Copies of this chain bind each other. A is one copy, B any other.
Amino acid sequence: MIKAYAVFEPNGELKPFEYDPGELLAQQVEIEVLYCGICHSDISMIDDAWGMTQYPLVPGHEVVGTIVQLGDDVRHLTLGQTVGLGWHSGFCNDCQHCDSNDHNLCASAQGTVVGHYGGFADKVRADGNSVVPIPDGIDLASAGPLFCAGITVFNPLVQFNIKPTDKVGVIGIGGLGHLALQFLNAWGCEVTAFTSHDAKQQEALKLGAHHTLNSRDEAAVAAAAGQFDLIISTVNVKLDWNLYLSTLNARGRLHFVGATLEPLDINVFSLLMGQRSVSGSPIGSPAVIADMLDFAQRHDVKPTVEMFRFDDINAAVNRLRAGEAHYRLVLTRD
């Protein structure tokens, strides 16, 4: 039996929950969970905000752990190996995207917490090709958030061929944004943090930003016209997107990794005049996660986390709900 924490209804509390995972499939591994990050997406799933939650829900998709069971067909991993598991725990392995190592774009990808029991548990199962070995030199206690927050902001740099000579802005300096600043600084870019919190401006500079701009000061944002090659938005609130488009250089891109629910009221002329793009992307493939971990290790990119014991799990979730996490929360057995 696997001992987990589950939610049984929308907005519900996490309660102890045991389940029998059955026989391990040939392509699967079983991971003993050492640490598991808590992501805003876990709260969206707890609340069924996206209409795709199946209860009982075992959240948790920023897993760091040790392989304790290995399916017969899994050859690239070993028992006892330290690995991470993120948003996806399986793929169809049969579509053009899986064939191209773009597993995160697989339309049939299995979500770790969507109709599948996640990492708020002592163990979790996943297909072997969805888990990624963690290289030596990565701090395991803080590594969990790399597997969702980290890869979400790292992936666009790879996908859009961002160059170290590029000027990049990051809107929102929270769980995703504080990692984006570190990655972009290490990538060699000139980095600007957009944040509405005065207190975060100093922190943003320490995290790797070269400049800060108050995201709610329209005049200050307007004065940055034509500057940025890329802006990554990590926020889920509505901003004046046409104003941000005006701060892009020709060929610039306003890229969304935050799931803003309000439609983007984009002015076509803002796109036409400078050949600009608006785009979005989800997580990243295991291949890019592996590259990210190597890059994070070499450049000392590390999530800033607060640790909670697994038996304080509801306190941790409530802290994240209250917007008080600094910057990311991780559950630990210790």
Contacts and interface: CB of A to CB of B under 8 A. Distances in A.
Interface size class of A (residues with CB under 8 A): 35 or more
B256 A268 contact: yes
Interface in A230-274: 250-251, 253, 256-261, 263-274
Interface in A271-289: 271-282
What are the 4 closest A-B residue pairs judged by CB atoms, nearest first?
A: A271-B280, A272-B280, A277-B279, A105-B250
Interface in A34-60: none
Given A276-B280, A277-B277, 16 more contacts: A105-B274, A159-B275, A256-B268, A257-B272, A258-B268, A263-B265, A263-B267, A264-B264, A266-B266, A266-B278, A269-B280, A270-B280, A271-B278, A273-B280, A275-B279, A278-B279
Given A272-B280, A277-B277, A277-B279, A102 B250 contact: yes
A226 interface: yes
A251 B282 contact: no
A319 to B, nearest CB: 26
A280 B271 CA distance: 5
A97 interface: yes
Q: Choose among A258, A269, A276 the residue with the greatest number of B CB atoms under 10 Å from its CB.
A: A269
A265 B264 CA distance: 5
Given A260-B268, A264-B265, A272-B256, A250 B97 contact: yes
A328 B256 CA distance: 39
B251 A268 contact: no
A148 B282 CA distance: 37
A268 B261 CA distance: 7
Given A226-B107, A250-B102, A273 B266 contact: no
A283 to B, nearest CB: 10
Contacts of A261: 268
A70 to B, nearest CB: 31
B263 A259 contact: no
B280 A105 contact: no
Nearest to A269: B259
B275 A278 contact: no
Q: Choose among A97, A107, A250, A253 the residue with the greatest number of B CB atoms under 10 Å from its CB.
A: A250
